[in-house]
Amino acid sequence: MGFLSSAFHSLHLLPCLAGVAATQTPSGVNVNTADWDGNTSLHLAAKADNPGILQALLAAPGLDKKRANQQGQTALMCAVNHWNADGVKRLLQDAATDVNACDVHGDCPLHAAARMNQEEAVVHLLKHPETGEHSGEIF
């Protein structure tokens, strides 16, 4: 199972396999397998701006959508940090995404997107009904 987990973990690198991942996820593959930095397939797909793989992973049974890597970053924060506004939008459409999850430095997705002047990501984040709920304030 280690090889299959590693192979599935690397699918974000191959955009042409997005359809395969969506329909042929091998049973027994742990979609929550992480690399040395704590990044799962979901983190890597969010970083790689690969909408097909991201969508397939979001539909995968057993996926831990709230898992943070060693920097405390969720897939949403990874999408923000890698200028993936489409990934931000897709992740926010999933009810399990925590829009207010902050990393180990206390940085939250909205703050990071605003600091990096990512207008499209900021708009998506502001439209989410739970943005800023943890503090009662947006900024």
Report pLDDT digits (tens) over 26-56: 566 788 999 999 999 999 999 998 888 899 9
Can you tell me the distance from the alpha carbon of 27 to that of 112, in angstroms, rounded to the nearest whole number? 37
Checking if the pLDDT of 88 tops 80, the result is yes
Can you tell me the distance from the alpha carbon of 121 to that of 114, in angstroms, rounded to the nearest whole number? 8
Its domain, for residue 31, covers: 2-127
138 found inside a domain: no
Can you tell me the distance from the alpha carbon of 19 to that of 14, in angstroms, rounded to the nearest whole number? 11
| Closest of 138, 129, 57 to residue 91, by C-alpha | 57
Any idea what the CATH number is for the domain that residue 119 is in?
1.25.40.20
| Closest of 124, 117, 61 to residue 91, by C-alpha | 124
The structural domain count of the chain equals: 1
**Angle value at C-alpha 97, between 95 and 98, nearest 5 degrees:** 120
